[in-house]
Amino acid sequence: MTPILEMRSLSKTFRSGIRQGGRLVHALTDIDLTVEAGESLGIVGESGCGKSTLARCALRLLKPDKGSVLYRGLDLQDLPPQELRTLRSEFQIVFQDSLASLNPRMTVREILAEPFEVHRRGRQEAGARRMTELIAEVGLDESLIHRRPAELSGGQQQRVAIARALALNPRLLIADEPVSALDASVQTQILNLLGQIRQGHGISLVMISHSFPVIRYLCSRIVVMYLGRIVEDAPADEFFRAPGHPYSRALLESMPVMHQKSPAGRPALPGEVPSAAAPPPGCPFHPRCPSVLAGCRMEIPPLRVCGRAKVACFLVDQDGEC
């Protein structure tokens, strides 16, 4: 079966510090990733690892430097603008900062009606009945429909953003840190809502987060990123039982439990993430790795099969032994 989303050798760089001549920041490097229809995939890693850039490249909000993005087998790079515009109704994103993603001058009703106008679905589809359905599905009171974003709580704003993403019945939903800015009690409500939506609509969900508890709550497969590269790709049950990459293990050990900001007794991941403008040679994790080998400093390990997972580490031998 054709994956709903596939990225092949995807790379993206940015220029920073132009006044000083400009430095090339390697946001993504040679990303190969597939998302199957109906799958719930979690992408996790420390801040700055490239998660959000990956989401934006996947939806063609950013144009990659090289590589390809295929949606249902269609290369988004090759599509004419009008065809790409039509296809965009099938994949949507929910951003971390819900207030910044909503037009402050629009009411909730106008925000929810906008996708129908942009995609020329007509007034009938965006009628009162559809508005009522969307509001009810995300657990908002209908009395809020004439309010503007600033008049809503953070949780209500995120529910409006989710309702807008669902307006055109997408097949793929990417949620980019959708609960990190919310209070603990509201986080659980939004995660439950996303889980209900995924099951009720049968959509594919890509959840991006720096929090393993959030990822574990919703996702059946885990992808770990480090400095713009994928270092592990594994089924969730196997990953949380026995992560294969040293970075994954260290990250899991250092992560707090959900809603707990100070993980007492948990060791911190040593060292700092290297600059994406000056990545180290060889394995990008080797300056922080407790199991570093001589070859790690010179060569970049490929993703190799390790049980049911794929791990980019020289500790995995050619036969897939971990």
Mean pLDDT of 128-135: 86
pLDDT at 128: 76
First to last CA, the chain: 29
Give the whole-angstrom CA distance, residue 258 versus residue 277: 32
Instruction: Judge whether 199 and 169 are in contact, CB under 8 Å.
Output: no
Residues 6+ away with beta carbon under 8 Å from 123: 116
Per-residue pLDDT tens over the stretch 52-94: 999 999 999 999 999 999 999 999 988 998 899 889 999 999 9
Q: Which domains can be identified in the chain, with CATH numbers?
A: 5-227 (3.40.50.300)
pLDDT at 320 over 90: no
The pTM assigned to this predicted structure is: 0.90
pLDDT at 17 over 90: no
Beta strand spans in the chain (E): 5-16, 23-35, 40-44, 66-71, 74-75, 91-94, 172-176, 204-209, 221-226, 229-235, 303-306, 309-312
Per-residue pLDDT tens over the stretch 180-223: 878 888 889 999 999 999 999 899 999 999 888 889 989 999 99
